[in-house]
Amino acid sequence: MTIDTTPTKLLVLNGPNLNLLGLREPAVYGHTTLADVEALCRSAAAERGAVADCRQSNHEGQLIDWVHEAGVAYRAGQLAGIVFNPGAYTHTSVALHDAIKGAMVPVIEIHISNVHAREAFRHHSYISPAAAGIVVGFGVDGYVLAIDGLLRQARATTA
């Protein structure tokens, strides 16, 4: 019997304006930069025997393409799923919802701020109904919580 020691892979996607972390509304999002968040995700994944591929785009179509690619990798057994902060697309993108549903890949939706304690237009998510789980309001530590949740779900389904 051989033991598979290949690290589990996961995709961390960040949507529009998250490239401005550390600069944009620090009272809401803090002073942590996107590079800091990506380093945190890579470190958290590595501590859990996984590898995080971190990507950011301000373009909806690019995010959709990455979700589709992740679906192919997931069905091939090469990916645990996606940790996804869709940013403002959370509240507007039926296309991302449909991409997640169509790709059939587990997604943990993450938001740095508590979107439900903010403006009313932020209270609705098109992503949540397609997501396997949601983490909101824990700052950038929410990414670690999302990675934990995604990996636990992935390992539970393969056990």
Residue 55 is assigned to a structural domain of this protein: yes
Q: What is the pLDDT of residue 123?
A: 76
Quick one: pLDDT at residue 156?
84
Which residues span the domain enclosing 100?
8-158
Q: Is residue 53 part of a domain?
A: yes
16 located within any domain: yes
The CATH number of residue 146's host domain is 3.40.50.9100
- pLDDT attached to residue 30: 79
Number of domains forming the structure of the chain: 1
Q: Which residues are catalytic?
A: 29, 111
**In the prediction, which pLDDT does 4 show?**
52
Q: Would you say residue 1 lies in a domain?
A: no
**Does some domain include residue 2?**
no
Query: How far is CA 34 from each of CA 13, 18, 31, 72, 76, rounded to the nearest angstrom?
Result: 11, 7, 10, 26, 29
The answer to whether residue 86 is domain-embedded is: yes
Task: Establish if 34 belongs to a structural domain.
Answer: yes
Full pLDDT tens readout for the chain, 159 residues: 454 555 699 999 999 999 999 988 777 777 899 999 999 999 999 999 999 999 999 999 999 999 999 999 999 999 999 999 999 999 999 999 999 999 999 999 999 988 887 777 777 899 999 999 999 999 999 999 999 999 999 988 866
Residue 51 forms part of a structural domain? yes
The pLDDT value recorded for residue 115 is: 81
- pTM of the prediction? 0.92
Report residue 28: phi and psi, to 5°: -95, -45
